[in-house]
Amino acid sequence: MPTDEEVVRAASEAAEGVILDFYKQSELTDFDVTVEFEDGVLDIDVYVNPPEDADPDPDAVADEAALAAGDAVDELFEAAEE
């Protein structure tokens, strides 16, 4: 089974990857990915603050990043079971 640290790292990297697929890092005013994994419960919070004229919508990007983080953790556990 993956360690808590491995779970957090996989989720964080996946979320950040999605954000940076949509926006150049230099365009972002700020972004934050917070991942907690305690007692088998995964909590993901993604905040994206691009310039006002940025496309696509930052809420949609944050949602997609959080989904990618969850998928990455699922894949990590599936790989550990094999």
Residue 14's domain spans which residues?
4-81
Does pLDDT of 45 surpass 90?
yes
Q: What is the pLDDT of residues 49-74, one digit of tens each?
A: 998 888 899 999 999 999 999 999 99
- 65 token code pair: 């990043």
What was the pLDDT predicted at 52?
83
Position 38: which residue type? E
Q: How many domains does the chain have?
A: 1
CATH number, domain containing residue 9: 3.30.300.100
Q: Go through the chain and tell me how many residues it has.
A: 82
What was the pLDDT predicted at 27?
86
Task: Say what the pTM is.
Answer: 0.91
